[in-house]
Structure 1
Amino acid sequence: MDSAERIEAASKFLLQSPPGEINDVLNDVRNIISDDDSLQAGVLPALREYNTTQFTTADVPGHQHQSIVSDAARIPSSNEEADAEASVDRYWDPRSRTSFRFDHLSLETSDPEHVEPDPESEPFRAALETASLAYLQAHYHDGVVSVFPTPDSSTRFIIQIVANKYNPNNFWSGRWRSHYTVDTSTKSLEGQILVNVHYYEQGNVQLSTTHTVSLTLPPAISSSGGPSSASKVLALIEAEEGKYQTSLNDAYAEMSEKTFKGLRRALPMTRSKLDWDRVLGYKLGAELTNSKNVFGAA
């Protein structure tokens, strides 16, 4: 396998990294390449793709909150060819009206600049953001939400939510991502919910699932509707995500009661169920007998 093939293999491994484990995967593939300079240059496109599709969160310089790094947040530059070879792209956080440089290798932010929002779309975007932050606080233990306008449209907006939970001490990690496009002119709410969970104690089990959302907005919702319309949009998202969470719980219960039970014997080799109460009685009786012998010896 030549160097280019090793770089391609390393990039594929990185793109398949479970939540919160990309640094571990990167350290592992270093042994495949054995050349840090070639590795850094070769896997940069994969790192950029991973960070944007996985909704990597970044600290907004000068502010006490995080923003989502994604294609919706990326600010195109005049020299796309040069940017493709660099590890740094520029993104923006509409909440603080700040753009910043984000390094896909170090995950660090720098060089904040003020960005003035579009005056026509900003009022409803801000209303959606306020409603989204309230929804996030009510339903996510540790999450980040960003709300973006879309170019050349004052009626179409993008809501992105990401929540991560890493527990390496107990060998599991998970990520929830939601992406919604709200268009008040076509009265549509389109999106996806993506869930990734990795459990790797004495094994390697992963859950990767996608749920597509396609809803029609009520006629009363409009870009001029302000906080009232924004709250109704988030109510639709809340109901849809609640139903999906319930369906996941039901699937887990079914796997526990049917699928996993089908992988083992219903009865032991004796063809009769084990009476655990009797087993405990045997154990207690043995302990009492041992205690009696000890006292008798004394």
Structure 2
Amino acid sequence: MNAAERIEAASSFLLQSPPGEINDVLNDVRNIISDDDSLHEGVLPALKEYNLTQFMTWILPNVSPQSIVSDAARIEATEGGQERFIDPRSKTSFLFDHLSLEASSSQPAEPDADSEPFRAALEKATLAYLEAHFHDGVASILSSKQSTNHFVIQVVANKYNPSNYWSGRWRSEYNINLNDNTVAGKVLVNIHYYEQGNVQLSTTHNISLSLPAAIVTSSPTASASKILALIEDEEGKYQTSLNDTYQEMGEKTFKGLRRALPLTRQKIDWDKVLGYKLGAELASSKGLFGGS
């Protein structure tokens, strides 16, 4: 495998990194490349893509709320892997280094005067929804680059529990278009469980809503609350469907893969089995395995 192929393989591994484990994967692929300079340069595009699509969060200096790094929040690209992002909640922009995962050079960022009233109302309603349903969740509500009547809601909630060998991430994103009264969104769930094995779940659930005219013509506060109520209802249905799926998998799918007990309907003493010899002792113990 040549250097280019190793870089491609390393990038693929990084893009598939489970929640909260990107640094572990990066350290592992260093052994594949064996050249830190080539590694950093070669996998930088993959790191950028991962950070943007996974809604990487960061706490800005002297700013208490966490910020989301995403394509919708990106306002400028610079040299050396750094890009500038906006945090509408704190009205701040900042540089983010995709390789070191550090934010710097924060500065004030004034919002668009025309879209700010509705954006602020959406932010207030989203934060209330976040507090009710997400543990340590982070939200960002942005005015879209496309028009003053287009807004983006982004939510990410991470739960890392390495001591119990699992991690998870919930992401949701909604594009609200007041010109055609629509909400187009998606929910993405990633879970990694790796105690004595390696199991990953990755799901995408698309959501499409039509907004009644009464919602759009209401005040910003009333409209935002009703839009978040619709989102809450859709995400609640999806959460219920996930719970039902897991219940069915536990009761039917996984049980169908193997017998709960051997034919004798008795549990096998595996410690005892390991001590058997392939001869007289096995032959004399046929009864354990259903023999005569």
Q: For residues 169 and 219 of structure 1, do their structure 2 counterparts lie closer, same or farther at Cα, with a shift above 3 Å needed?
A: same
Quote the sequence identity (%). 69
Q: For residues 90 and 269 of structure 1, do their structure 2 counterparts lie closer, same or farther at Cα, with a shift above 3 Å needed?
A: same
Gaps in structure 1 of 5+ consecutive residues:
78-82, 275-298
Out of 169, 176, 194, the position equivalent to 1:175 is 169
Out of 143, 149, 152, the position equivalent to 1:149 is 143
In structure 2, the partner of 1:120 is: 114
In structure 2, the partner of 1:132 is: 126
Q: Which amino acid aligns with 2:173?
A: H
In structure 2, the partner of 1:111 is: 105
Give the distance between the partners of 1:152 and 1:260, measured in 2 at CA: 47
In structure 1, the partner of 2:281 is: none
Out of 226, 245, 263, the position equivalent to 1:269 is 263
Give the distance between the partners of 2:171 and 2:116, measured in 1 at CA: 24
Q: For residues 214 and 152 of structure 1, do their structure 2 counterparts lie closer, same or farther at Cα, with a shift above 3 Å needed?
A: closer
In structure 2, the partner of 1:68 is: 68
In structure 1, the partner of 2:272 is: none
Residues 59-98 of structure 1: per-residue CA shift (max 9 Å, x gap): 1232111111000000135xxxxx3x62211101011110
Note the aligned Cα RMSD (angstroms).
1.6
Give the distance between the partners of 2:61 and 2:219, measured in 1 at CA: 32
Moved over 6 A (4+): none
In structure 1, the partner of 2:239 is: 245
Listed as ranges, the matches of 1:3-14 within 5 Å are 3-14=3-14
In structure 2, the partner of 1:47 is: 47
CA offset at residue 221 of structure 1?
2.0
SS at match of 2:180: coil
Q: Which amino acid aligns with 1:200?
A: Y
Moved more, 7-16 or 261-270: 261-270
In structure 2, the partner of 1:294 is: none
Query: Would the aligned equivalents of 1:87 and 1:105 in 2 still touch at CA under 8 Å?
Result: yes
SS at match of 1:89: strand
Give the distance between the partners of 1:152 and 1:160, measured in 2 at CA: 17
Give the distance between the partners of 1:33 and 1:122, measured in 2 at CA: 47
In structure 1, the partner of 2:286 is: none
User: What TM-score, normalized to structure 1?
Assistant: 0.87
SS at match of 2:112: coil
In structure 1, the partner of 2:22 is: 22
In structure 1, the partner of 2:36 is: 36
In structure 2, the partner of 1:295 is: none
Q: Which amino acid aligns with 1:35?
A: D
Query: Would the aligned equivalents of 1:184 and 1:221 in 2 still touch at CA under 8 Å?
Result: no
Query: Would the aligned equivalents of 1:68 and 1:145 in 2 still touch at CA under 8 Å?
Result: yes
Listed as ranges, the matches of 1:178-189 within 5 Å are 178-189=172-183
Give the distance between the partners of 2:19 and 2:192, measured in 1 at CA: 7
Give the distance between the partners of 2:254 and 2:140, measured in 1 at CA: 39
Q: Which amino acid aligns with 1:140?
A: F
The answer to whether 1:93 aligns with 2:65 is no
Q: For residues 224 and 98 of structure 1, do their structure 2 counterparts lie closer, same or farther at Cα, with a shift above 3 Å needed?
A: farther
Q: For residues 29 and 266 of structure 1, do their structure 2 counterparts lie closer, same or farther at Cα, with a shift above 3 Å needed?
A: closer
Give the distance between the partners of 1:41 and 1:165, measured in 2 at CA: 30
Gaps in structure 2 of 5+ consecutive residues:
269-292
CA offset at residue 266 of structure 1?
4.9
Figure out how many residues of one structure are paired with residues of the other and give that number: 268
Give the distance between the partners of 1:220 and 1:271, measured in 2 at CA: 64
Out of 228, 234, 248, the position equivalent to 1:234 is 228
Residues 163-191 of structure 1: per-residue CA shift (max 9 Å, x gap): 00000111100000001001122110101
CA offset at residue 271 of structure 1?
4.7
